[in-house]
Amino acid sequence: MSGKSFWESGHRPTLIMAFLYFDIAFMVWNMLGPLAPIIAKELILTPAEKGFMVAVPTLAGAVLRLVNGFLVDRIGQKVTGAIGQVVVIAGLFAAWFFGVNSLNGTIAVGVVLGFAGAAFAVALPLASRWYPPEHQGKAMGIAGMGNSGTVFAALFAPLLAKAFGWNNVLGLALIPLVIVFIAYMVLVKDSPDQPPAKSMGEYVASYFGMLREGDAWWFMLFYGVTFGGFVGLGGSLPLWFTGELAMSPIQAGYATAACVFAGSLVRPFGGALADRIGGIRTLSIVYMVASVLLVGIAFAPIAFAAMFPLFFAVMATLGIGNGAVFQLVPQRFRHQVGIMTGLVGFGGGLGGFYLASSLGLAKQWTGSASSGFLIFAALALIALAGLTSVKKRWRTTWGAAIQGVRI
């Protein structure tokens, strides 16, 4: 243990900017979800097309996180983040300037927004490498709370779309993106505790080496349920509220923002709770509660008074789980945190893509999204079973070697 308090450790400006960078990146990454009811009506999309449209940024972000996981260890977190921000700014400017008027166009925008989603694999190592093991949960929780950017997307995207048209929302998003980019370049510093740079061949070998580690697959599954559930629901709820409850896009945005805010707000508490009682115990509780809530969502009467509290509670539960997973990852893979953040983020992105697209398919094939919620509840139980199977080995091997930290 370092013996220093949390605020005496690390580099505070970098931690704050890791949060702000992640926050704005998440805002633009999730823009298509709140805009989806408006876009779908204008382009006359089927339920499956709606689900795919909101899922594309999640899938693109998942793949690009693998690239960023390589780059943060190769060229540093600051430069990697700067490159991603420039790509997003340029891509959104082009989309706004030339206009988007087809499903293929929205898919192209979704791919560009995936670069914002890949900020996850930059922001978390940016924070993590400045902090000792006993403060990992809090540092990763604060940086990870940037997923609250989804709240701003849900709150403001429908309002701005009504006032200026949804294409112009893409241009308006450039304002906070540029401001944060300038602050990022001025304030962010890479930690001096960096792994030695490797060649591309060595990194490819490292990725495959990590995939030979059974623990890497477990972490990908665990985050696929917690983060995948969070981001998949965050993108799908506007469509659900407008489609099932006949709410306006603005009303759906408010309801979605409240649910997303719950999941974002508790993420650092999830990390702190994991520091206190252990990440394994915290995640076990999360998966049990999430599975019960998801089953409740599948069978609850279709009414706002019944559904909104369930969505609010499950998003908060998954937010706690997101913080707990990343209390554990840096403990297990301290010297491969960049690669593992990419891999685990990839798993989370796949989970979000699956949930968002499956809810659309379930709606189109069965007339209800209930089967999609039930399958995801089953995935939460599978994650719980997997965690139960490995916890003894983790606590008696690498967990036992970390002094003063509960896993």
CATH code where residue 25 lies: 1.20.1250.20
Structure tokens at 279: 């990440």
| 374/330: higher pLDDT | 374
Which pLDDT belongs to residue 49?
A: 93
Within-domain flag for 161: yes
Which pLDDT belongs to residue 405?
A: 67
Which pLDDT belongs to residue 146?
A: 75
How many domains does the chain divide into?
Answer: 1
**pLDDT range class, residue 290, cuts 50, 70, 90:** very high
Whether 7 has a pLDDT exceeding 70, the answer reads no
**pLDDT range class, residue 269, cuts 50, 70, 90:** confident
Within-domain flag for 407: no
Structure tokens at 43: 């382009």
- pLDDT per position as a tens digit, 209-231: 888 888 999 999 999 999 999 99
Whole-Å CA distances, 245 to 16, 33, 242, 249, 358? 38, 17, 6, 11, 19
Within-domain flag for 375: yes
| Portion of the chain with pLDDT greater than 90, in percent | 61
Whole-Å CA distances, 159 to 91, 97, 145, 168, 310? 22, 20, 24, 12, 25
d(CA 238, CA 10): 38
Which pLDDT belongs to residue 397?
A: 87
- pLDDT per position as a tens digit, 163-187: 999 999 999 999 999 999 999 999 9
Q: Which of 117-126, 190-199, 277-286 has the lowest mean pLDDT?
A: 190-199
Within-domain flag for 222: yes
- pLDDT per position as a tens digit, 385-403: 999 999 999 988 887 777 6
Which pLDDT belongs to residue 4?
A: 67
| 262/339: higher pLDDT | 262
* Domain housing 263: 10-189+199-398
Which pLDDT belongs to residue 185?
A: 95
Mean pLDDT score, 28-52: 93
Within-domain flag for 359: yes
Within-domain flag for 3: no
Q: How many CB atoms lie within 10 A of CB 97?
A: 10
- Which long-range contacts does 171-175 make (Cβ < 8 Å, 24+ apart)? 171/92, 171/93, 171/96, 171/97, 173/27, 173/28, 173/31, 173/92, 174/89, 174/92, 174/93, 174/96
**Is the alpha carbon torsion for 170, 263, 322, 138 positive or negative?**
positive
Whether 325 has a pLDDT exceeding 60, the answer reads yes
For residue 44, the 8-state DSSP code is T
Report the residue count for the chain: 407
Mean pLDDT score, 73-99: 93
**pLDDT range class, residue 254, cuts 50, 70, 90:** very high
Which pLDDT belongs to residue 407?
A: 82
Most confident of 63-67, 337-341, 379-383: 379-383
| 356/405: higher pLDDT | 356
Which pLDDT belongs to residue 404?
A: 63
For residue 331, give every residue at least 6 positions away whose Cβ sits within 8 Å of its Cβ, in sequence order, or none: 133, 136, 279, 398, 399, 402, 405, 407
Which pLDDT belongs to residue 386?
A: 96
Which pLDDT belongs to residue 6?
A: 65
Mean pLDDT score, 118-141: 78
Q: Which of 133-137, 255-259, 269-273 has the lowest mean pLDDT?
A: 133-137
Within-domain flag for 357: yes
Which pLDDT belongs to residue 272?
A: 84
Within-domain flag for 405: no
Q: Is 299 exposed, middle or buried (0-12, 13-18, 19+ CB in 10 A)?
A: exposed
Which pLDDT belongs to residue 103?
A: 93
- Cβ contact 210:343 at 8 Å: yes
